[in-house]
Amino acid sequence: MTGERTITVNPEDVKKEILAKYPPKVARKRGKQITPVSSEEDKGSLTVGANVRTVPGIITQRGCCYAGCKGVIMGPTRDIINLTHGPIGCGFYSWLTRRNQTRPPSDDAENYMTYCFSTDMQDEDIVFGGEKKLKAAIQEAYDIFKPKTISIFSTCPVGLIGDDVHAVAREMKAKLGINIFGFSCEGYKGVSQSAGHHIANNTIFTHVVGLDDTISDAKYKINLLGEYNIGGDAFIIDDLLEKCGISVVSTFSGNSTIDQFANCHTADLNAVMCHRSINYVADMLEIKYGIPWIKISFLGPKSTAQSLRKIAAYFEDQELIDTVEKVIAEEMIPVEAKIKEIKPRCEGKTAMMFVGGSRAHHYQELFRDLGMEVLSAGYEFAHRDDYEGRHVIPDIKIDADSRNIEELEIEPDETRYNPRKTEAQIKALEEKGVAFKEYEGMIPDMAKGSLIVDDISHHETETLIEMYKPDIFCAGIKEKYAVQKHGIPMKQLHSYDSGGPYAVFKGAINFYEEIDRMLNANIWHYLEAPWQKAPELSGKYAAE
Ligand code: CFM
């Protein structure tokens, strides 16, 4: 799948060097999460240990369950009052810290994203219980804002003292007559924010999806799952889809509203962008309502074109297929021109990326477009299927941490289950290359000589940098300045620093320009310390 091999470092050596610093027990554990890609042929048999506890004492980049639920999945939804039940720090640190943008239709439309709602638990609430305070907070939020939905997020202490947020939600829902529900997303659940994604998926599916059966008369209706509008990505994806004549019923959850979720079961196809965070909703929508899902990616022009073609092929309408081809041809002109301009300045350079649960894979294409090689990549909290492909799901061992996260038993809806395609149609489409319910993961795209590292630590990051010497490193704010101190440009792929959007064709152009600017900025030449330039002083001890 990948082009010419340019990697000269032996990934086995890098792994050995990383593990050499650990005590044997830790080395054994970490060894399972570090996978050298030593040959093209063996890629099919590689495994990457993932979704397991971080070793205590190792500095991880992971977040907590509450962060995955409140910040990631529910964060971009503007018209729900998201109330954090807990000490103020949890609410404060998840307040607008992710660059998910929103565009309310008018100035007076509901938009609570700029507010930070919290019960601000104090010592006495921990000792005597916080339910009363929670009820009062819901009442207060209702009195001031009159929202149509309030949701409650549980933090660690709430689970430890046993406040029943669901009972409070039921009581206040009956009292106020609006939709109120709670998330059991205590920070300590699971091993990372991934647990919070699953809990958010389950809760929204239970309390919101299916509440509004209105079917719009748009011809091609899809849900965009796993796109969070960081830096405005969802805005330009929406523009592109509109240009093609494809309607988005609901986005989970970039630039979204509660009404979109309520109505999402009326779409005819689910297009899944970030598989890790939202595959549960995709599966549940299929089982309950009969909507098939396909994996797509709008990061990189090739993936964008391929994703549009898949969506068009699914609807089996020549008019749509023709429009999509026309749009791709048009959009590719400036993309190709930009690649031609920038590639000579970036070709042969190398990159590394360690991000969340999908971008460390999706962003590789944009670097390859510029003739760059990806030396090493990994996710913080993805599962084995995000590395190895969904075919490994039946082999994944369920451990105590995952057993803690509820799996909903979903049945076909008695009246609304409506398979959008017959089995024969699905088979015919699969023969044409439209794979359903399939994600092949990161491994097929990794080059020979590269190294995959799951849940990377600071020590491992530094060893990789020293041995592979990448030209650019991509991760998040926690790594940014440590990496830059090595004299290596660092691009944040979570927040995009202050840049973006980077999705679809237009965003790809922004990304190429950004990488060019970062790689070729003069500043990096001035980073050599005087003793690195001048010959070292040599001397002798008098005693010798
Ligand atoms: Fe999905 Fe995301 Fe990601 Fe993610 Fe995230 Fe994010 Fe991410 Mo930061 S939902 S897994 S929990 S694509 S916030 S928008 S960038 S770690 S790679």
Cα–Cα distance measured from residue 486 to residue 488, given in angstroms and rounded to the nearest whole number: 5
Cα–Cα distance measured from residue 35 to residue 404, given in angstroms and rounded to the nearest whole number: 28
- The answer to whether the CB of 18 falls within 8 A of the CB of 34 is yes
What CATH number does residue 410 fall under?
3.40.50.1980
Could you tell me the distance, in angstroms and rounded to a whole number, from the CA of residue 521 to the centre of ligand 1?
A: 28
Tokens, residue 300: 């990189």
Is 380 among the domain residues? no
Confidence of residue 528 (pLDDT cuts 50, 70, 90): confident
Cα–Cα distance measured from residue 215 to residue 202, given in angstroms and rounded to the nearest whole number: 23
For residue 209, the tally of other CB atoms under 10 A from its CB is: 21
Confidence of residue 112 (pLDDT cuts 50, 70, 90): very high
Residue 5: pLDDT over 60: no
Q: List the beta bridge partners of residue 247.
A: 221
**What integer pLDDT is reported at residue 57 of this predicted model?**
92
* Helix or strand run (H / E) with residue 227: strand 220-227
Please give the positions annotated as active site: 64, 67, 98, 197
Cα–Cα distance measured from residue 11 to residue 351, given in angstroms and rounded to the nearest whole number: 15
Could you tell me the distance, in angstroms and rounded to a whole number, from the CA of residue 208 to the centre of ligand 1?
A: 23
- With a CB cutoff of 8 Å and minimum separation 6, the contacts of 415 are none
| Domain region containing 455 | 11-61+442-494
Could you tell me the distance, in angstroms and rounded to a whole number, from the CA of residue 255 to the centre of ligand 1?
A: 15
- With a CB cutoff of 8 Å and minimum separation 6, the contacts of 478 are 61
Angle at 93 between CA 117 and CA 166, to 5 degrees: 45
**What integer pLDDT is reported at residue 543 of this predicted model?**
66
- Ligand 1 pocket member 15 (CB < 6 A): no
Which residue among 151, 181, 208 closes a domain? 208
For 127-185, write each residue's pLDDT tens digit: 999 999 999 999 999 999 999 999 999 999 999 999 999 999 999 999 999 999 999 99
- Ligand 1 pocket member 71 (CB < 6 A): no
- Ligand 1 pocket member 276 (CB < 6 A): yes
Same domain, yes or no: 327 and 472? no
For residue 532, the tally of other CB atoms under 10 A from its CB is: 9
Same domain, yes or no: 152 and 250? no
Residue 373 DSSP symbol: E
Tokens, residue 494: 């979570």
* Helix or strand run (H / E) with residue 140: helix 131-145
- Ligand 1 pocket member 358 (CB < 6 A): yes
Same domain, yes or no: 284 and 340? yes
- Ligand 1 pocket member 295 (CB < 6 A): no
The atom of ligand 1 lying closest to the CA of 359 is 17
Is 513 among the domain residues? no
Same domain, yes or no: 152 and 234? no
Mean pLDDT throughout 329-354? Answer: 98
For 487-525, write each residue's pLDDT tens digit: 999 999 999 999 999 999 999 999 999 999 999 998 887
Task: State how many domains the chain has.
Answer: 3
Same domain, yes or no: 83 and 138? yes
Could you tell me the distance, in angstroms and rounded to a whole number, from the CA of residue 91 to the centre of ligand 1?
A: 19
**What integer pLDDT is reported at residue 1 of this predicted model?**
45
For 11-66, write each residue's pLDDT tens digit: 999 999 999 999 999 999 999 999 999 999 999 999 999 999 999 999 999 999 99
Which residue, 91, 79, 138, 149, is CA-closest to 116? 91
H helix runs in 177-230, sequence order: 193-207
Residue 529: pLDDT over 90: no
Could you tell me the distance, in angstroms and rounded to a whole number, from the CA of residue 493 to the centre of ligand 1?
A: 9
Q: Determine which residue's CA is closest to atom 6 belonging to ligand 1.
A: 494
Could you tell me the distance, in angstroms and rounded to a whole number, from the CA of residue 358 to the centre of ligand 1?
A: 7
Label each residue of 288-355 as H, E or C. Answer: HHCCCEEECCCCCHHHHHHHHHHHHHHHCCHHHHHHHHHHHHHHHHHHHHHHHHHHHHHCCCEEEEEC
Is 4 among the domain residues? no
Number of helices (H), then strands (E), belonging to the chain: the values are 23, 14
Mean pLDDT throughout 456-469? Answer: 97
- The answer to whether the CB of 2 falls within 8 A of the CB of 445 is yes
Which residue, 164, 149, 126, 151, is CA-closest to 66? 151
Percent of the chain exceeding pLDDT 90 equals 94
Side chain identity at 28, as an amino acid letter? R
Q: Determine which residue's CA is closest to atom 8 belonging to ligand 1.
A: 494
Cα–Cα distance measured from residue 238 to residue 236, given in angstroms and rounded to the nearest whole number: 5
Cα–Cα distance measured from residue 129 to residue 135, given in angstroms and rounded to the nearest whole number: 12
Is 225 among the domain residues? yes
Which residue, 385, 398, 397, 395, is CA-closest to 437? 385
Same domain, yes or no: 426 and 453? no
Confidence of residue 537 (pLDDT cuts 50, 70, 90): low
CA atoms within 13 A on the CB side of 354: 28
Is 285 among the domain residues? yes
For residue 104, the tally of other CB atoms under 10 A from its CB is: 14
Same domain, yes or no: 340 and 451? no
Same domain, yes or no: 157 and 89? yes
Residue 3: pLDDT over 60: no
Percent of the chain exceeding pLDDT 70 equals 98
| Mean pLDDT for the chain overall | 96
Is 456 among the domain residues? yes
Is 274 among the domain residues? yes
The atom of ligand 1 lying closest to the CA of 493 is 15
Same domain, yes or no: 84 and 182? yes
Residue 535: pLDDT over 70: no
Same domain, yes or no: 201 and 143? yes
For 173-214, write each residue's pLDDT tens digit: 999 999 999 999 999 999 999 999 999 999 999 999 999 999
Same domain, yes or no: 469 and 334? no
Pocket perturbation via mutation, ligand 1, pick of 64, 197, 256, 274 by most ligand atoms within 8 A of CB: 274
- Ligand 1 pocket member 194 (CB < 6 A): no
Mean pLDDT throughout 355-375? Answer: 98
The atom of ligand 1 lying closest to the CA of 476 is 8
Helix (H, G, I), strand (E, B) or coil at 473: strand
Q: What is the pTM of this model?
A: 0.96
Is 544 among the domain residues? no
- The answer to whether the CB of 335 falls within 8 A of the CB of 366 is no
